[in-house]
């Protein structure tokens, strides 16, 4: 079998105006006051004989691995797949609503939270609709993959003169500008899907923004689709320590600029890829004012396209995070302080201070419970092989060097590794970053410094194993 079957479906999952808009600790508002661009759910269904897999692109920030299982189950049930054959990836926009009603800065009592249950139902319905459309669109397809560059990303761990590390553009820090592009065409060459992988945080819009927005990934996908046709799916990369050049603003044109630039860079790579094997042959001369030599393309037999998918559990070491009861008590006190604020008289500075203290305390309490009484946790690694490309994902927020090291291995001709896949269970910094301070190592990771090496090793092993898979006969 020299080809796969592929189909894409999409549905709208834009949240309503007035829904809770509480992903930033420094915000001084609670509700979304408008919508910048629609938020979308996109499903890519792939089949080859008995092997079936789905990749889901959601314009959403994050949810836990446990919460993610419900969404994977919805897609799996609609398509008749095993849930572990569904990859559900978040674009990681910070300008959408929360999924849960508690923790990480959210509280059930906050204004706008009353709209979240209905929104969750809307997302599930969108996944069902997109899955059905993908199934109906299935047709024979071939793929090609390649790398490019986009100079949008920079490092986001800036060390101040006093030694404090803050989230901001660090123009001299490590960055990974590599783009991963996978093109899937029908046998007649018409594009079905373009998968774009790139690692930089969708925090162009930040705490002062009051609009629901997919941030730069929404613009990126639209640009690629305008250039290529078909649908574009975005796979966030290893963005844990990466940020766009323009970021942390309220200017709604800024994500358009950043997304357009990355989208054009990705489209340039995609246009240069061919899903057919062609050989140029000189054919004839046309007599004109000058004699014109005409070349034609001869299509060569295509090697078998292999589809394979695997989910496996790996162990990542965690650290001692602190006394769980004490952390819970601190979280409850900070959360109560937010509830006690009289929003009619509180200043913006008072609101922001209470919100960020509650968010940090809730995060610390969460990781305290996550790490309690164990030295390691099981994390799901998920990988899909499409031809010579392997897409590996984990429910983590890895630093950029991890993805670059996996890509540089000889596991496969093309490897994209990204986080924000099938859940979110914290940051994975580089080992050396634990020697300094900063959000990512102080409040946002439960893992020990050795976790980055273990994650890299296991991701390379999974990609290598999938490259050993044979095409169905």
Q: What pLDDT was estimated at residue 201?
A: 98
In 206-325 the beta strands, taken as DSSP E runs, fall at 211-212, 231-236, 242-244, 278-287, 291-299, 307-317
Tell me if 103 sits within 8 A of 236, measured CB to CB. no
Secondary structure (3-state) at 307: strand
Residue 204, burial from CB neighbour count under 10 angstroms (0-12, 13-18, 19+): buried
4-12 and 291-299 strand pairing: unpaired
Enumerate the β-bridge partners of residue 312: 381
Q: What pLDDT was estimated at residue 100?
A: 80
Q: Which residues of the chain register pLDDT less than 70?
A: 1, 101-106, 471-473
Tell me if 382 sits within 8 A of 422, measured CB to CB. yes
Give the alpha-carbon dihedral of 238, 244, 247, 253, to 10 degrees: -120
Percentage helix, strand, coil, to 5, in the chain?
Answer: 30, 30, 35
Tell me if 377 sits within 8 A of 394, measured CB to CB. no
The proportion of the chain whose per-residue pLDDT surpasses 90, expressed as a percent, equals 81
Q: What pLDDT was estimated at residue 275?
A: 95
pLDDT digits (tens, 9 = 90+) for 213-263: 999 999 999 999 999 999 999 999 999 999 999 999 999 999 999 999 999
The CA-based angle 420-376-447, given to 5 degrees, is 50
Q: What pLDDT was estimated at residue 368?
A: 86
Per residue, the 3-state secondary structure of 343-408, as one string, reads CCCCCHHHHHHHHHHHHHHHHHHHHHHHHCCCCEEEEEEEEEEECCEEEEECCCEECHHHHHHHHH
Candidates 147, 187, 45; CA nearest to 388 is 147
- The residues, any chain, with a CB within 8 Å of residue 62's CB and separated by 6 or more, are 90, 92, 99, 420, 423, 424
pLDDT digits (tens, 9 = 90+) for 65-114: 889 999 999 999 999 999 999 999 999 999 999 998 666 656 777 899 99
Residue 340, burial from CB neighbour count under 10 angstroms (0-12, 13-18, 19+): exposed
- Euclidean distance between the first and the last CA atom of the chain, given in angstroms as a whole number: 6
To which residue do tokens 């062609």 refer? 278
To which residue do tokens 């923004």 refer? 209
Q: What pLDDT was estimated at residue 465?
A: 96
Distance CA(40)–CA(77), nearest Å, equals 20
Distance CA(267)–CA(251), nearest Å, equals 25
- Give the distance from CA 442 to its chain's centroid: 23
Q: What pLDDT was estimated at residue 102?
A: 67
Candidates 196, 185, 179, 183; CA nearest to 233 is 196
Q: What pLDDT was estimated at residue 108?
A: 76
Tell me if 45 sits within 8 A of 193, measured CB to CB. no
Candidates 169, 203, 253, 241; CA nearest to 23 is 203
What is the Cα gyration radius of the chain? 23
To which residue do tokens 């989208």 refer? 263
Candidates 383, 306, 413; CA nearest to 4 is 306
CB atoms within 10 A of CB 335: 23
139-149 and 4-12 strand pairing: antiparallel
């Amino acid at each position: 079998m020299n080809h796969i079957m592929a189909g894409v479906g999409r549905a709208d999952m834009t949240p309503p105006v007035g829904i809770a808009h509480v992903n930033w600790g420094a915000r001084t508002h609670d509700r979304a006051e408008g919508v910048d661009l629609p938020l979308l759910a996109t499903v890519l269904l792939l089949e080859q004989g008995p092997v079936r897999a789905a990749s889901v692109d959601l314009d959403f920030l994050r949810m836990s691995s446990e919460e993610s299982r419900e969404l994977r189950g919805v897609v799996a049930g609609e398509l008749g797949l095993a849930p572990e054959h569904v990859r559900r990836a978040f674009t990681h926009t910070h300008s959408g609503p929360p999924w849960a009603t508690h923790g990480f800065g959210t509280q059930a009592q906050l204004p706008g939270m009353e709209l979240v249950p209905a929104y969750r139902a809307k997302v599930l319905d969108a996944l069902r609709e997109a899955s059905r459309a993908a199934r109906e669109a299935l047709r024979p397809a071939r793929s090609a993959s390649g790398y490019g560059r986009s100079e949008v990303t920079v490092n986001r761990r800036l060390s101040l003169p006093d030694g404090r590390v803050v989230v901001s553009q660090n123009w001299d820090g490590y960055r990974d500008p590599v783009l991963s592009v996978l093109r899937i065409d029908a046998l007649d060459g018409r594009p079905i899907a373009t998968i774009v992988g790139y690692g930089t945080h969708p925090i162009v819009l930040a705490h002062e923004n009051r609009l629901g927005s997919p941030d730069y990934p929404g613009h990126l996908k639209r640009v690629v689709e305008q250039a290529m046709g078909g649908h574009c799916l975005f796979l966030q990369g290893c963005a844990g320590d990466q940020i766009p050049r323009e970021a942390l603003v309220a200017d709604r044109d800024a994500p358009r600029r950043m997304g357009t630039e990355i989208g054009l860079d990705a489209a340039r790579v995609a246009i240069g890829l061919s899903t057919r094997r062609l050989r140029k042959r000189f054919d004839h001369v046309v007599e004109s004012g000058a004699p014109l030599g005409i070349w034609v393309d001869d299509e060569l037999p295509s090697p078998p396209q292999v589809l394979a998918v695997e989910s496996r559990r790996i162990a990542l070491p965690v650290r001692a995070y602190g006394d769980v009861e004490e952390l819970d008590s601190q979280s409850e006190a900070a959360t109560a302080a937010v509830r006690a604020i009289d929003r009619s008289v509180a200043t913006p500075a008072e609101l922001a201070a209470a919100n960020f203290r509650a968010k940090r305390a809730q995060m610390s309490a969460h990781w305290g419970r996550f790490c309690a009484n164990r030295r390691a946790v099981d994390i799901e690694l998920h990988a899909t092989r499409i031809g010579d490309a392997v897409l590996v994902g984990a429910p983590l927020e890895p630093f950029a060097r991890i993805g670059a090291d996996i890509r540089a291995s000889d596991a496969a001709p093309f490897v994209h590794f990204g986080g924000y896949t099938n859940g979110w269970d914290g940051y994975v910094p580089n080992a050396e970053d634990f020697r300094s301070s900063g959000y990512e190592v102080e409040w946002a990771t439960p893992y020990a410094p050795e976790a980055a090496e273990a994650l890299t090793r296991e991701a390379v092993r999974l990609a290598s194993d999938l490259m050993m898979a044979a095409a169905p006969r």
